[in-house]
Structure 1
Amino acid sequence: MTAGERAGVALRRAVASDAGAAAGVWLRSFAAALPGVVRPRSDDEVREYFRHVLVPRRETWVAEAAGDGVVGVLVLEGGVLEQLYLEPGWRGRGIGDRFVALAKERSPGGLSLWTFQVNAPAHRFYERHGFTAVERTDGSGNEEREPDVRYVWRP
């Protein structure tokens, strides 16, 4: 088993044909984890964003499970962890931990990210991985208009 594979799940760079599956993971994960957060974009707009922006223009990774396809997505932009979403049924299996380790490896000088204040499980997850909350906002600066928190990790 390679370093990118564990328990039948491989982490690999996304290719154009992964955009639809990655967007599907994002949509299902967002709905499950953040049911009270209003999305400003339709499902089709999210799919287009993955197809035309995230996969071709960002450092996008997917977790691919043997027999189940894409079950996770990670998007990096320089030292910013832009997206980390898992298929709801695949949470708690170490894929998020592997994605964070990969992000730290790809950005050894440090990382930052934003998550919504209502997402307490994400706060616990990132804090467990050494991230520290450094800024809280009222949400006026994001599309969802949802209070958020910025986390940073420094090696």
Structure 2
Amino acid sequence: MRTDAVSRYCVSRASQEQMTAAGNILNAWIDETAWMPRVHSHQSVIDYYQTHVFRHCDVFVGVDSEHCVMGFLAIDTDDLITALYLARAARGRELGRQLLDHVKTERARDLSLWTFEANSGARAFYHREGFQEVRRTKGDNEEHLPDILYRWTAAGKPA
């Protein structure tokens, strides 16, 4: 079953046009997550992804057989994963792992990311994928929510 799930998506570098879908995926996640405050309008999120994120990060998308963007990962030049979000229909179907594995292979360097303390599903996922907790804050972010910094160490490097 795992093999079928992995082959369901094609991961590639995002195009400018796909950034609207990325923004929509993030907006949907915010809307369905009770503990997540909305600090930017739907359109502001889309605009930010189309301009700033597309220009300043490497963005990878996972698309299904119908070429619909089902998830995305953005990583900046300091190897900080700034976003990893999946459409509801793609969650639990290996796309998150596929996106992470793509970046781990492409970068072959240590990776870091932040996730919200309240996001227990993401925390469990990152632990399974080999990320280690580095530190916590009490909400030093624009959402004012406690968060956790995680780091993954590339294979062959000392921890």
**Is TM (by shorter chain) over 0.5?**
yes
1:95 aligns with 2:95: yes
2:82 maps to what in 1?
Answer: 82
2:62 maps to what in 1?
Answer: 63
Instruction: Give 3-state SS (helix, strand or coil) of 1:16's partner.
Output: coil
Instruction: Give 3-state SS (helix, strand or coil) of 1:104's partner.
Output: helix
Instruction: Give 3-state SS (helix, strand or coil) of 2:97's partner.
Output: helix
Q: Which amino acid aligns with 1:85?
A: Y
CA contact (8 A) 2:30 2:37 kept: no
1:19 aligns with 2:19: yes
- For 2:52 and 2:119, locate their aligned partners in 1 and report how far apart those are by CA, in whole Å: 25
Shift of residue 35, structure 1, vs aligned partner:
2.0
Shift of residue 68, structure 1, vs aligned partner:
5.7
CA contact (8 A) 1:26 1:73 kept: no
Shift of residue 8, structure 1, vs aligned partner:
3.5
| % identical aligned pairs | 30
Q: Which amino acid aligns with 1:8?
A: R
Pairs aligned (count): 149
Q: Deviations over 1:96-146 (max 9, x none)?
A: 01111112123322011000000011110000011011101000x200000
CA contact (8 A) 2:133 2:148 kept: yes
- TM-score normalised by structure 2 residue count: 0.88
What do you get for the CA RMSD once the two structures are aligned?
1.6
Shift of residue 27, structure 1, vs aligned partner:
1.2
Q: Deviations over 1:21-73 (max 9, x none)?
A: 111111112333x3212121111110100111112331011111122611101
CA contact (8 A) 1:81 1:103 kept: no
- TM-score normalised by structure 1 residue count: 0.90
Shift of residue 152, structure 1, vs aligned partner:
0.5
1:142 aligns with 2:141: yes
Q: Which amino acid aligns with 1:71?
A: M
Matches within 5 A, 1:30-69: 30-32=30-32, 34-67=33-66, 69=68
Q: Which runs of 5+ in 2 are unaligned?
A: 1-5, 155-159
- For 1:11 and 1:110, locate their aligned partners in 2 and report how far apart those are by CA, in whole Å: 20
- For 1:38 and 1:30, locate their aligned partners in 2 and report how far apart those are by CA, in whole Å: 7
Q: Which runs of 5+ in 1 are unaligned?
A: 1-5
